Chain A
Amino acid sequence: MANPEHVMGVVGSYPLLIALWLLPLAGAVLCWAFGPQLKRAAGWLATAVAFAAFALTVASWGSGTQSLNGALGADQPLVRWMPGFHLGLLLDPLSLLWACIITGVGALIHLYSIGYMEGDSAFARFFAYMNFFLFAMLTLVLSDNFVGLLIGWGLVGLASYFLIGFWFYKPSAVAAARKAFVINVAGDVGIMFAIFLIVQKTGSIGFGNAFAAADTYGPTLLLAICISLFIGAAAKSAQVPLHTWLPDAMEGPTPVSALIHAATMVTAGVYLIARCAPLWSHDGNAQLLVGTIGGVTALTGAVLGMVQWDIKRILAYSTMSQIGYMIMGVGVGAYEAGVAHFFTHAFFKAQLFLGSGLIIHALANEQDVRRMGGLRKRLPFAFIAMLVGVLAICGIPGLSGSFSKDAVIQGALNHGHPWLYAVGIVTAGMTAYYMFRMLFVTFFGRYRGEIDPSELGIRHPEFAGTAAHADTGGHDSHHAPAWLMNLPVAILIVPSIFAGWLLYGGADSPWHRFFDPQFGVAAPANVPISELTTTLVTLAFVAVGILVAYLRYGTAAARESAVERLRRESVGMWPILANAFYFDVALDALFVKTSEMLGRLVSRVLDPHVVDGTVREAAIAAQGSGALVRSLQTGFVRAYAVFLAVGIACFAAFYAFHGVH
C-alpha cells in the first residue's frame, strides 16, 4: 500500500511505472551482454527501448496529472524497508515532465546516434551506456524519496563518466571524465549530508514527510539542508564555482553532449530545487543564495561563451548560462518559470548540439569554428536547424525560448530580486551575441578549413577526434543514411519553435494549470514592471547583441577579412578570458594542491613516523623482550632443574613465613 504521508498525499499504485523505469535497464543489459552479436542492431534495440519508454510515459499522462483533492498523480511502492524508509516510484506533474523529456528527447538522440556513431568499434557499448543513462535519470526523477533520488543522482554521474570517457584512448577524454565524476561526487556528498539532517529531524526519507515538516526545522537547520542540497545541485548543474567540468565534458561524443550535458542530466539540479520547493519557499536566505548563484552562473557562462572557439564549448558555456537562468528561476521561487525554461531549453539546446554534430560529422570531427566558415551552402539543413535553435535560445518572440526566458526574468523581479532581473536581461543580450557570433563565423564567409591553422591564430591545432576517427575505422568507409541524423533534428525543430506556446495566456495557460496543483497558485504579485515592458527591454538587449555580432562577423567587409580578424582575436584574447576567469586554477590551488600537500604530509611524516613507527617499535620491543627471555632457555636440563628447585624453595619460604592461610 502506498503511504500517503510518505509521498505528499499521492495515493493509488501504478505498476506501469515499474515497467517504464526498468525498460531502459533491460535495454542496457541486452546491449552490454550481446553487443558483439547484435552489432548494428544494438543501436536499433536501444532506440526502440527509448521510444517504448517514451510511449509508456505518454500513456501515464492521465495518472500523473489527475488531481484528487490536492493529491497528485500516482505512487508505486517498491520496497518497504523500515518505518519511514520506503522506496517507491512517484509520478506527479514534475516527474512526469522530466520523464517525458528524458525519454522523448532521449529517444530522438538515440536515433541520431545510430547515424553519428556509425562505424565506431564500440557501437553496442555506446548504446548500452545511453540506455543505462536513461534508466539512471528515470531513477532520479521518479523516486518518491531522497535515497532513491540520491541513487539516481549517483548513477547519472556514473553514466556521464562512462560517456564522457567513451573514447578512452584520448587522454583528454579520460581526464575530462574523471574531473566530471569527482566534482559530481562532491555534490553527492552535499545531498547525502542533507539526507542525514532530514532523517535526523523527521525520521523519514520520504519527500512528503520531509516537506510536511518544513515548518518545524527552524531557520538554521532549514538553511543547512537547503545549502547541502544546493551543493549537490550546483555540482550536477554546473553552477559557479563547480561548473568547470561541463566545458571539458564536451570530450564525449556529440549526442552525449546533447542528451546528458544539455537536455537532461545537467538540469537535475533544477529538478532537485523544484522538487524541494516546499523547503525553499520557507527560507528566504536560501532563495537569495540560490538565485544569486544562478544569476552569476548565467552571466559567467555568457561571458565565457562569447570568447570560445570550439563550437561545442560555445554550446557548453551557453548551456551553463541557460541552466543559470533555470536555477535563478526555481531559486527565487518562480518554479513554474524555471521548470518551463528547462522544458524549452531541452528542445532547442538538444537541437543545437545535434546540429553542431551534423557539422562535426561532415567536417571529419573538426570542432574549431575558426576552421569552418561558409557552411551555409554546403550544409543547408544544419544551417536551418542551427538557425532555429539560435533564434529560439535568443528569445525571438514566438519561439519557445522567449516565453520561458521572459518568465524567468519576470519571475526574478516579481519575487523581489531586481538585481537578478537586470542580470537576466543583460545575459539575454550576451546570449544573442555569442549565438549569432557562432552562426556568422560557422556558416557565413568563406570556408577556412584549408587555411594553415597558424594563420587563424590557432597555436596548438587540435584535430579533436581525428585519431579516434582513424581508430574506429572512419565514418567515411560506410555512411549511414542521412535521414537517420536529419530526422531527429527535424522533429526537434517543431517543439523548439512551438513548445513555448504552452506558457501563453498567463495564469490561465496550460502550463500553469498543469503545475498549479504542484507548486500552488502564485499570489498575484505586486509587479513593478509589466511583462510586456520586460519583453521589450529584453528584446532591445537581444537586438544590440545581434547587431554587435553582425557588425563584428556578419557584414560583407567582416566576412572578407575574417581570417585576419579571427587571428587577431585569438592572439589578442585577454588571459583572464582565455583562462575562463581562472576557475580551474583556483579550484586546483584550493582543492587539488591542498590535497596533494596533505598527501605528501601523510606520506612523509604520518606514514613513516607514526603508522610505520608504531609497528616498528612494537616489533623491536617484542624482539628485545624475546631475546631477554630466550637467554634463560640454555638447553641445559640440569639448569632447568635448578630453576625448578629454586622456585620450589621460594614457594616453601613464602609459606614458611606467611603460613598456609
Chain B
Amino acid sequence: MATSFAGVPIFDYEALASVLFFIGLAGAIARRNPLVMLMSIELMFNAANLAFIVFARAWLNNAGQIFAFLVITVAAAEAAIALAIVVVVFRSAPQVNVDDVRVLHG
C-alpha cells in the first residue's frame, strides 16, 4: 500500500477532501441562494471524488476511479434537474431565496 503520491502523504489528500466536504456542507446549509447551494453541493461531490481516487491509488483498486466517474455522471444529471427547478422558481419570484419555496409546503 502506497503511503504517498508525488511526495504528498495520503493523510494530506484526505485532509483536503474533508475540508472541501465541510466547506460544501456549510455552504449548502448556510446559504439561501439556490445557485450557491448547488455549487456547494458540487464541492461536496468533488471532495468525495478526490477521496475515491486517492483511496483507489492507495489500495491499487480501480473500483474507486470508476465510482468517481459515476459520481460525475450523477452530479451532471442532478445539476440539470436542479437548474431547471431554479429557473422555474425564478419565474414565480423576483428574488430567489430557498426559504421562500416553503410556500409549497402543504
Do the two chains belong together in a single complex? Answer: yes
Q: A residues touching B (Cβ–Cβ < 8 Å)?
A: 633-638, 641-642, 645
Are B32's CB and A638's CB within 8 A? yes
A and B contact pairs by CB, cutoff 8 A, 10 listed: A635-B101, A636-B98, A637-B98, A637-B101, A638-B28, A638-B29, A638-B37, A638-B98, A638-B99, A641-B28
Are A642's CB and B29's CB within 8 A? yes
Are A645's CB and B29's CB within 8 A? yes
Are B105's CB and A634's CB within 8 A? yes
Name the residue among A633, A641, A642 with the largest chain B CB count within 10 angstroms.
A641
Are A633's CB and B28's CB within 8 A? no
Are A635's CB and B32's CB within 8 A? no
Chain B residues with CB under 8 A of A636:
98-99, 102
Chain A residues with CB under 8 A of B106:
633
- B 29-52 binary contact with A (CB < 8 Å = 1; else 0): 110100001000000000000000
Are B29's CB and A641's CB within 8 A? yes
Chain B residues with CB under 8 A of A637:
37, 98-99, 101
Nearest CB of A to B60, in Å: 19
Closest 5 CB pairs of A and B: A635-B105, A635-B102, A637-B98, A641-B29, A641-B28
Nearest CB of A to B19, in Å: 16
Chain A residues with CB under 8 A of B29:
638, 641-642, 645
A636 to B37, CA, bound (A): 13
What's the count of A-B pairs with C-beta under 8 Å?
Answer: 29
Partner of A634, one of B28, B37, B102: B102
Chain A residues with CB under 8 A of B88:
none
Chain A residues with CB under 8 A of B30:
638
Chain A residues with CB under 8 A of B102:
634-636
Nearest CB of B to A164, in Å: 62
Nearest CB of A to B47, in Å: 13
Does B104 lie at the interface of the complex (its beta carbon under 8 Å from any beta carbon of A)? yes
Does B25 lie at the interface of the complex (its beta carbon under 8 Å from any beta carbon of A)? yes
Q: Which residue of A lies closest to B32 (CB)?
A: A638
Are B105's CB and A633's CB within 8 A? yes
> Mostly helix, strand, loop or mixed at chain A's interface?
helix
Chain A residues with CB under 8 A of B32:
638
Q: Which residue of A lies closest to B41 (CB)?
A: A641
Chain B residues with CB under 8 A of A635:
101-105
Nearest CB of B to A149, in Å: 65
Nearest CB of B to A161, in Å: 58
Q: Which residue of B lies closest to A648 (CB)?
A: B25
Nearest CB of A to B25, in Å: 6
Q: Which residue of B lies closest to A637 (CB)?
A: B98
Nearest CB of A to B88, in Å: 15
Chain B residues with CB under 8 A of A633:
105-106
Nearest CB of B to A634, in Å: 7
Contact residues, B89-106 vs A (CB, 8 A): 98-99, 101-106
A637 to B102, CA, bound (A): 8
Contact residues, B13-35 vs A (CB, 8 A): 25, 28-30, 32
Nearest CB of B to A588, in Å: 59
Chain A residues with CB under 8 A of B104:
635
Contact residues, B64-106 vs A (CB, 8 A): 98-99, 101-106
Are A645's CB and B105's CB within 8 A? no
Q: Which residue of B lies closest to A649 (CB)?
A: B25
Nearest CB of B to A650, in Å: 15
Q: Which residue of A lies closest to B28 (CB)?
A: A641
Nearest CB of A to B22, in Å: 10
Q: Which residue of B lies closest to A642 (CB)?
A: B29
A634 to B98, CA, bound (A): 12
Chain A residues with CB under 8 A of B37:
637-638
Q: Which residue of A lies closest to B102 (CB)?
A: A635
A634 to B99, CA, bound (A): 10
Chain B residues with CB under 8 A of A634:
102, 105
Nearest CB of B to A495, in Å: 86
A563 to B4, CA, bound (A): 133
Q: Which residue of B lies closest to A638 (CB)?
A: B29
A634 to B28, CA, bound (A): 17
A634 to B105, CA, bound (A): 7
Nearest CB of B to A652, in Å: 11
Q: Which residue of A lies closest to B98 (CB)?
A: A637
Q: Which residue of B lies closest to A645 (CB)?
A: B25
Nearest CB of A to B104, in Å: 7
Beyond A637-B101, A638-B37, 8 additional pairs, beta carbon < 8 A: A635-B102, A635-B103, A636-B98, A637-B37, A638-B28, A638-B30, A638-B98, A641-B28
A642 to B106, CA, bound (A): 20
A419 to B98, CA, bound (A): 101
Chain A residues with CB under 8 A of B98:
636-638
A638 to B34, CA, bound (A): 10
A638 to B25, CA, bound (A): 10
A642 to B99, CA, bound (A): 14
A635 to B101, CA, bound (A): 7
Nearest CB of B to A660, in Å: 13
Nearest CB of B to A484, in Å: 80
A550 to B101, CA, bound (A): 106
Chain B residues with CB under 8 A of A645:
25, 29
Q: Which residue of A lies closest to B27 (CB)?
A: A641
Nearest CB of A to B27, in Å: 10
